[in-house]
Each structure stands twice: as C-alpha cells, then as structure tokens.
Structure 1
Amino acid sequence: MAEIWSTLVGAGAVVVGAGLTGGFTLLKGRQERTDKERDRLEQRITRHREIRREAYLQLLDCAQKLSLCQGRFVGVDGLPDDLQAELGSAMRDLSRSLLVVRMEGPVEVAAAARDLVGHYDQLNGHILTSGGVSHRLLLEAHTATLGAREEFLRVTAKALDSAG
C-alpha cells in the first residue's frame, strides 16, 4: 500500500510540475510578445519622427534657397527671364515641401509652415509685379520672415519632442 501511495504522490508531483512549467512558459511567451509589440511601436514612432523631421528640414532648405533667389532681385530693373524662372522654380519647390509638412502635421506645425511660406510668397508677388525690390522692402520682408521662421522652429521642436 505504501508503494501505491508513493507512486501516486510521485505521479501527482510530475503532473503539478508539468503544469507549473507550462504556466511559466505561457507567461514568458506572452511577455516576449508584449516586448516585441512595444519595440515595434517604438520603432514606428521613431520612423515617423524622422519622416517629420526630414519634411521640416526640407521646407527650411527650400525657404533658404528661395530667400537667396529673392535677394538677387535687389535693385534689379525689370525681370530677367532666367531670374524669373529661378524664382518660380524655387517657389514651386517651397510650395511642394509645404504640402509634405501639411500631410505630416501636426496642425500647429502646418499652420506655422503656411505662415512662413506666406511671407515668402508675399515678397515674390511684389517682385513679380514691380520687377525688383528695394533694400528697405527686402529688409522689412526678411525681418517678418525671420519671425515666422522662429515660430516654425519653435512649434516643430515642440512637435518632435512630444512625438518621442
């Protein structure tokens, strides 16, 4: 009878041990799956932040190119075809980069980008209608544009910080 009891106790211990091992294995598997999902989410957030950052930098790069182009119109009489084409091309590039920023968002960054591009567009309109620009007008436009640029940089920094 003692042998039967020892056999039953041994078999019970094996069953309980197998159950505990299976339970711990299941918990470990769930934890690993949760960790992998968290890692994928962090990678997705990082990728999206980099895409936004690239869009913001592209807008600033296009704005700088347009600013340099606009500066070439100081004191110019008339509107030479090559400068007019360069100005139009630079403005189109800036407008395209604005569309990307608007798609990537967030809303505050898109609004600041629209304001920044609006300053460049306003000066472009003046150049195209008058055929040139005075030093005073360029300085006033540049000062206003710098304020819009600083606001754009402020909201992009905030957006990139909150995306992390």
Structure 2
Amino acid sequence: MADQSIALISAASALAGVALTGGFTLLKGRQERTDKQADRDEQRRVMHRAARRDVYAELLTAYHEVDRNFREVAKTRPPADPTVPIPSGSDVAYQAEASINALRQAAAAVALEGPAEAGAAADKLCEACFSLLIAFAGLDVEHAGSSEPLWSYDSTERDEAQTEVSRACWAFIEQARATLGGDAPGFG
C-alpha cells in the first residue's frame, strides 16, 4: 500500500509538473506574441514618421526653390511695354510659377501623408507664394518703362504678401515639428 501511495504521489507530481510547465509555456508564448506585435507596431510608426519627414522635407526643398525664384523676380526690371509679361525677354517669372506648381505637388503629398493640419499649412504656404507672385506681376505692370528692379519699389501689397509667405512657412514648420514629435522631450 505504501508503494501504491508513493506511485500515486509520484504520478500526481509528474502531472502537476507537466501542467505547470505547459502553463508557463503558454504564458511565455502569449508574451512573445505581444512583444512581437509591439515591435511591428513600433516599426510601422517609425516608417510612417520617416515617410512624413521625407515628404515634409520635399515640401521645404520646393519652397526654397520658390524663394530663390522670387529673389530673381525681385531683381528684374519692368518692361518698357506693360502688355509684355514680366520680365521682358526672360523666363524668370515663368520659372517662379513653375516652382510654385512644384510646391503645390509637394503640398499634395503632404496632404496624403497627413495629418490634415499639416496639409492645410502646406496649402496656405502655396497660396501665399502665389499671392506674392501676383504682387510682383502688379508691380511690373504698374512701373512699366522704369529702369529700377522690382524690389526697389514701395508696395504694401508685396510687403504683406512677403510677410504672409514667411508666416505660412513658419506655420508649416511648426506643424511639421509637432507632427513628427520634434518638440517632444528628447528631441530638443
């Protein structure tokens, strides 16, 4: 009888050991699945952040090209004939317009990557740049026949448009930094 008790206790101990081992194995498997899912989620966040950063950088690069073209437009002199588009005999204004169109394409990519606030800030920057181009065109017509470059004329419309372009650019940069977490602790 004692041998049977010992055998019964041994069998119960073995079964309990197997059950505990199986339970711990299941818990470990669940923990590993949870950890793997968390790693995949983190990888997705990192990839999405990188994609947004690339699109935002593309927009800022396009904006710098627009700004460079605006500096060239500002150096031009109005044509002798106001019916001739600015600047006479050159394609500087067309290059500025083309760079604004490239900026609009970059803004469309920003709108796709999101968030909506960044897309709205990018659109506002495009609108401000186009308004500045229109202000330069107005100066060109207004001062036709003059020999001074466009930047030398007093123009409230141009000055306000330039200020709006600067504001819109900084608003986009601030929105991009907020979206990318650039103002979060550890990114400063």
Q: Taking structure 1 as the reference length, what is the TM-score of the superposition?
A: 0.88
Cα offset, 1:35, TM superposition:
0.3
Cα offset, 1:157, TM superposition:
1.3
Q: Which letter maps to 1:103?
A: L
Provide the residue aligned with 1:148 in structure 2: 168
1:108 aligned to 2:124? no
Gaps of 5+ in 2: 79-85, 142-148
Provide the residue aligned with 1:158 in structure 2: 178
Q: Could you list the per-position Cα deviations for residues 10-45 of structure 1 after superposition, in whole angstroms to 9, with x for gaps in the alignment?
A: 011001100100000010000000000001101101
1:99 aligned to 2:115? no
Q: Distance in 1 between matches of 2:72 and 2:21?
A: 77
Cα offset, 1:130, TM superposition:
5.9
Cα offset, 1:73, TM superposition:
1.2
**Alignment partner for residue 92 of structure 2, among 62, 83, 88?**
83
Gaps of 5+ in 1: none
Provide the residue aligned with 1:49 in structure 2: 49
Q: Which letter maps to 1:18?
A: V
Cα offset, 1:122, TM superposition:
1.2
Q: Distance in 1 between matches of 2:101 and 2:168?
A: 19
Structure number with the higher helix fraction is 1
Q: Tell me the matched-pair count.
A: 163
Shifted more, 151-160 versus 10-19: the winner is 151-160
Percentage of pairs with the same residue:
32
Provide the residue aligned with 2:144 in structure 1: none
Alignment of 1:111-130 (within 5 A): 111-127=120-136
> 8 Å contact 2:107–2:123 — kept in the other structure?
yes
Q: Distance in 2 between matches of 1:149 and 1:119?
A: 9
Q: Distance in 2 between matches of 1:108 and 1:17?
A: 58
Cα offset, 1:56, TM superposition:
1.0
Provide the residue aligned with 2:83 in structure 1: none
Cα offset, 1:131, TM superposition:
4.8
